[in-house]
Every structure is written in structure tokens, then in C-alpha cells.
Amino acid sequence: MEETILQAIRAFDLPEGNIRADAFGNGHINRTYAVSVEGRKERYILQRINQYVFHHPDQVQENILEVTSWLRRKITQEGGDPERETLRVIPARDGKPYFLDGQENWWRMFPLVENTFSRDLPDTPELFEKCGRAFGRFQRRLNDFPAGRLHETIPNFHNTPWRMEQLEEAARKNAAGRLSEVRAELEFCRERAKWADRLVRGFEEGRLPLRVTHNDTKLNNVLLDQKTGDAICVVDLDTVMPGLMAYDFGEAIRTGACTAAEDETDLSRIDLSLELMRAYTAGFLAEVREEMTAEEIQSLPWGARMMTLENGVRFLTDYLDGDKYFAVHRPHHNLDRARAQLTLLTRMEEKWEEMLAALS
């Protein structure tokens, strides 16, 4: 085992004994290990936080600690098992919710939630409905959390008009000389500028309440119980921030109710599955409808449209910038992703009436 990993593990108060650490999971952002102590059955997750994405790992950890402590209390009150239904931050020996080593690496530890699995794609509407329930429950339990207390760890994350400005700036700079390739996509985005501020304006005008949002509501961030198949725990709390309910709902629909991959090049395969959207919506609203305002419920389909536009805009911006933010695995990868998102958005616009009807 690398000395830095061993040193990090020793910064946390684990039981005595021989330690082993194995690479774990398939995350693209943080480095993750499963840690065990000889002769003990409990395991731990050790992660090195990616500082290129998160400039203030201490603030990320403070957010996670606040939110998970709140969730633990709620789960206990409801008679649930907080050890399985939320993450628990294990403090370092000095009491901090992270360990900063001598080489500027930031580490954190959680108990590993055993006997669970996750899925990258919804095999069935039933599975997607369960995930909707899990994220709905997450929102319900955080309904009375003072969201403004959380750090905005990535500023302007879902400020769609700002994302549009970034696109215009990238087009002006044309840093990678690719502008002439993307005229049609740029025009497509510009035509949507008239509604890109719809959600942020709803917040600014006091019509949409500030919530705690997860911001990465992909299916594979829900742990399912191996025995019952129930969705029990929402993980990957790195981007927990103040935001709007529509962001989390929308991101789940964008990623989970699309019939093709995020970077699909055969655009004819890309569609919005209304069946999957209805399933997720039913699960989500069953948990949290009562805590929501009427206007907030109406904003949910807009979240799906907005997140799809926003990701298209971000991929296009990164393509123009020369692939600086998103990891690319082939030439034109960001352009392929942008085209796939804009195609999905077109399908959503065509099915808009049905999307609105999915709420009832």
C-alpha cells in the first residue's frame, strides 16, 4: 500500500489491526478505496477529494457533514436505520471532517454501506420509480433545512443564463478554432435564450423556494438494498448546495429517462421515454408533493428542459474552449455530447404537453 494512503487511514480513528485498502467503484472525480481492518467485518470508504473540481474541499466536507447530520436525525425520528439510509462522515483524529496531508491532498472517510448495489441505467420503470422515491425522500427530509447555510462550492453551477454567457464568450474567443463547425448548434442555443432564465428568475422573484439540492441525481448515486431491491441511500454528496427542486428533478430525467447514452452519435436513437419520466415523477412526488408549492411542482418539467439545455451549452462551450473541463475519450467527444443533448431537448419540446401531464 502507498505510504500516503496508509498515512491518511491512520489519521482516522479506526480499530487496531492490519489494514488493507483496495481501489473501489468507478467514479471519475475522486480516488476511492475500500478499507478494512483484519478480523473486523465493517469496511470504510476512503476518498481523496479532487481539488481541480472542488477548490474548497473543507467547504465540501462542511456541507456534507451538516446535511448528513440533519438526515440522520430525521431518519432516526422516522424509525429508520441512519447507518444504511445516509452516509456518515467519520471525523479525523483532530475532529475535522477531513484530513489534509503534508502534500496538500484532502482525504475523507465514511463507513461503507454493505449489501447494496447501484445501476447505471434504469432496467425497468419500477427501478426508476424507486430512485425517484429516494431523491424525493432526500428532499422531504431536508425540507426545513436552512439551505442558505450551505456553501456554494461551485458558484453559478445551475445559473443557466450565466452558462449561456460563457458560451458566447467561448464563441468570441474561438480558442480552439472550432467555431465554424458549430454554427448550427450555437444558433439552436441562442434561440432558447428567451427561456434560459426562467428558473433563476422564479427564484429571484420569490416564486420558487431555495432548497438543498444534490445536483448529481444520476441513477447510480442511489444505493439499492441487495435483499429487498429498495432504494435506501443517496450518495455522492459532493455537490450538495443551495438550489431549486427543479434542478435535481430535471437532472434525473435528463440522465435517466433518455433512451440513449449522453454521448450517443446516432441521433435517431435519442428520445425521452415518457414511461420512465412518469415512473420517476410518481416516485418523487409520492414522497415530497406535500412539501412543495404549486408553482414549484409546475417548474419540474422545466427543470428537465433546463438541465438538458444547460448540459448541451456546457459541452458546446468546452468544445469551443478546446476540451478543458470534461474528460474526452475521442475527437469531437464534447461536440457529440452537445449534439446528443440538443437532440434530447428537441424531443422534449415535441413532447412538452405530455411532459406537463406526467405531473398529475
What is the contact surface with ligand GN1 in residues (CB under 6 A)? 28-29, 53, 216, 239, 262, 311
**Least separation in angstroms between CB 13 and Mg ion:** 28
H/E stretch holding 100? strand 99-100
**Least separation in angstroms between CB 72 and ligand GN1:** 24
Helix or strand or coil: residue 250? helix
**Least separation in angstroms between CB 216 and Mg ion:** 4
Angle at 218 between CA 77 and CA 330, to 5 degrees: 155
**Least separation in angstroms between CB 13 and ligand GN1:** 30
Q: Is the Cβ of residue 133 or residue 254 nearer to ligand GN1 in the bound state?
A: 254
Contacts of 146 (CB under 8 A, 6+ apart): none
- Which cell numbers in the block locate residue 291? 412539501
Q: Is the Cβ of residue 74 or residue 339 nearer to ligand GN1 in the bound state?
A: 339
Distance CA 40, CA 51 (A): 32
CA distances from 297 to 6, 85, 126, 246, 355 (A): 48, 26, 22, 8, 12
- Which cell numbers in the block locate residue 202? 422564479
Q: Which does 53 bind (CB under 5 to 8 A by kind): ligand GN1, Mg ion, none?
A: ligand GN1
Q: Is the Cβ of residue 255 or residue 281 nearer to Mg ion in the bound state?
A: 255
Verify binding: residue 263, Mg ion, rule CB under 5 A.
no
Count of alpha carbons within 13 angstroms of residue 75, beta-carbon side: 22
What's the distance, Cα to Cα, between the start and end of the chain in Å? 54
**Least separation in angstroms between CB 253 and ligand GN1:** 13
- List binders of Mg ion among 198-257 (CB under 5 A): 216, 236
Q: Which does 354 bind (CB under 5 to 8 A by kind): ligand GN1, Mg ion, none?
A: none
**Least separation in angstroms between CB 154 and Mg ion:** 11
Q: Is the Cβ of residue 33 or residue 188 nearer to Mg ion in the bound state?
A: 33
Angle at 297 between CA 296 and CA 302, to 5 degrees: 80
Q: Is the Cβ of residue 151 or residue 190 nearer to Mg ion in the bound state?
A: 151
Q: Is the Cβ of residue 239 or residue 343 nearer to ligand GN1 in the bound state?
A: 239
Binding mask 68-87 for Mg ion (x = CB under 5 A): --------------------
Phi and psi for 273 in degrees, rounded to 5?
-85, 110
- The residue ranges that bind Mg ion (CB under 5 A) are 216, 236
